[in-house]
Amino acid sequence: MTTNTASTTTTVDEAASLAATAAPLLAASSPSTRAAWLEAVADALDGRGDELVALADEESHLGTARLTGEVARTTGQLRLFATVLRDGAFLEVVVDHADAAATPPKPELRRMLRPTGPVAVFSASNFPFAFSVAGGDTASALAAGCPVIVKAHSAHPRLSRLTAGIVTEALRDAGAPEGTFALVEGREQGTALVQHPAITAVGFTGSLAGGRALFDLASQRPAPIPFYGELGSTNPVVITAAALADGAEALARGLAGSFTLGVGQFCTNPGLVLVPAGSGFAELVADAASGTAAGRMLTPGIADAYASGTARAAAHPGVRTLLGGDAGAPESGVATVLATTAVTVLEDPAVLLEEIFGPATLVIEYADETELHAVLAAVGGALTATVHAAADEDVAELVSRLEPLAGRVLFGGWPTGVAVGWAQHHGGPWPATTSLHTSVGATAVRRFQRPIVYQDAPEHVLPEALHESNPLRLPRRVDGVLELPA
């Protein structure tokens, strides 16, 4: 078998043609076969971890400790999807037997989720492993049974090529068909990829502007396709008076640690923090973050956007700058704490509720619940929303206002870490994402699956997963009753 391993990058036409040929082979592969492919990729990446981390550090400046952890997260993610495949529930098998005596008579229906076909994946700059070439989108699309073509991020081209070479070789050695995986590079290749007729869905992690441009392209195709964009987020945090009374300084330290982590370059950065007026909390946060060294940002473009975003907010007449506000070294991000009132935010939400990607947070003081609720109503969709309240405080009303805003609601703690597991949901209403799905956790696979029901089909034409004897021993619902394999 030949593969496109010799060159890790290729043209969109070449990659798409190979992916289209591979798609039916992947669709016919068993979940356990694909689980072995994912584990082979994870093992290969772990085996080259030091080399990968060194190169990632050169290109991203994120530091070897963080990057080593990110490789482990990435290979752990691949292995989680292997477990998801062996579990089998992701296929959502449902069987309704025929009932000729029913009125009207019922046909036999056998339903499951099938792979959509070749998937385009766009890497993000701020996670050179976990949201890049071998990251969650690639892992979940391969798990679904879809060939993957990754558009490399221009912020880490050499790492993308090295990772792609390792992934391609591991897949080939594990027996995956030619065309299962490919890498393309360059803006033009990226836009051509989204528009290529062979592509059936897109996974994207990145900025609101970039995601919107590619979402529009995906929608404007003669045959539009789903575009799963994970975009920016302001991640509001609400702190009650009772929580501050329980320990304002500890909360300030926790917030400072969260919004400055990784030079603030997390989509889950707590960018808006609502606190009672007159609490002095903003000053405590500024104090807690004052010792944070300015860090080099991922790209000059991100550093420029951070400098102009903080300057724009700081220049607002109703905003006080408590920390930061100076440019710092070129390409670096200086921790910035801004403070304002709910009334000011409500007068100018377009400026003050915009995401600033970097180590900045805006503390918003609310005079009463009416102001708090009004600001929450003006905040756009977010990946996370966090409540800090006293243990015995009734926050039901507050939670009912946060729940429509975000895909993950946290009680205590800080939103920057995103655990990879079965229950995780990393998503949220627009502009956090363009869909209802998650890009992290077991159910991320659902983005690249299409439901199909077979009516009165002879068994020999059905996928094995739908056979009456349940040869793959899948969990399934039969005539309305959930059956778990013994």
Q: Provide the annotated active-site residues.
A: 230, 267
- CA–CA separation, 266 vs 309, rounded Å? 16
Among 190, 270, 276, 463, binds ligand NAP (CB under 6 A): 190
Instruction: Tell me how far apart the terminal alpha carbons of the chain are, to the nearest angstrom.
Output: 38
* Binding mask of the shown chain, residues 34 to 73, with x at each position contacting ligand NAP by CB under 6 A: ----------------------------------------
Whether the CB-CB separation of 232 and 224 falls below 8 Å is answered with no
- CA–CA separation, 468 vs 427, rounded Å? 36
Is residue 187 part of the contact set for ligand NAP (CB under 6 A)? yes
Structure tokens at 479: 């005539």
Helix axes 187-195, 208-220, angle to 10 degrees: 40
Pick between residue 84 and residue 155 the one whose CB is nearest to ligand NAP: 155
Pick between residue 213 and residue 453 the one whose CB is nearest to ligand NAP: 213
Question: Binding residues for ligand NAP, how many (CB under 6 A)?
Answer: 27
Pick between residue 202 and residue 376 the one whose CB is nearest to ligand NAP: 202
Strands 406-411 and 449-455: unpaired
- CA–CA separation, 71 vs 51, rounded Å? 11
Structure tokens at 276: 């009672």
Largest CA distance in the chain: 79
Pick between residue 88 and residue 309 the one whose CB is nearest to ligand NAP: 309
Is residue 436 part of the contact set for ligand NAP (CB under 6 A)? no
Is residue 126 part of the contact set for ligand NAP (CB under 6 A)? yes
Is residue 110 part of the contact set for ligand NAP (CB under 6 A)? no
- CA–CA separation, 454 vs 358, rounded Å? 50
Structure tokens at 316: 């607002």
Among 3, 207, 340, 361, binds ligand NAP (CB under 6 A): 207
Instruction: Please give the residues from 240 up to 269 whose contact with ligand NAP meets the rule CB under 6 A.
Output: 267
CB of residue 431 vs ligand NAP: minimum separation in angstroms?
10
Q: In this chain, which stretch among 38-46, 122-130, 310-318, 404-412 interacts with ligand NAP, using CB under 6 A?
A: 122-130
- CA–CA separation, 261 vs 316, rounded Å? 26
Instruction: Please give the residues from 315 up to 374 whose contact with ligand NAP meets the rule CB under 6 A.
Output: 357
Whether the CB-CB separation of 447 and 437 falls below 8 Å is answered with yes
Q: What letter represents residue 460's amino acid?
A: H
User: What is the CB-side half-sphere exposure of residue 348 using CA atoms within 13 A?
Assistant: 13
CB of residue 406 vs ligand NAP: minimum separation in angstroms?
12
Is residue 383 part of the contact set for ligand NAP (CB under 6 A)? yes
Residues forming the site for ligand NAP (CB under 6 A): 122, 124-127, 131, 151, 153-154, 187, 190-191, 205-207, 210, 213-214, 230-232, 267, 302, 357, 383, 426, 439
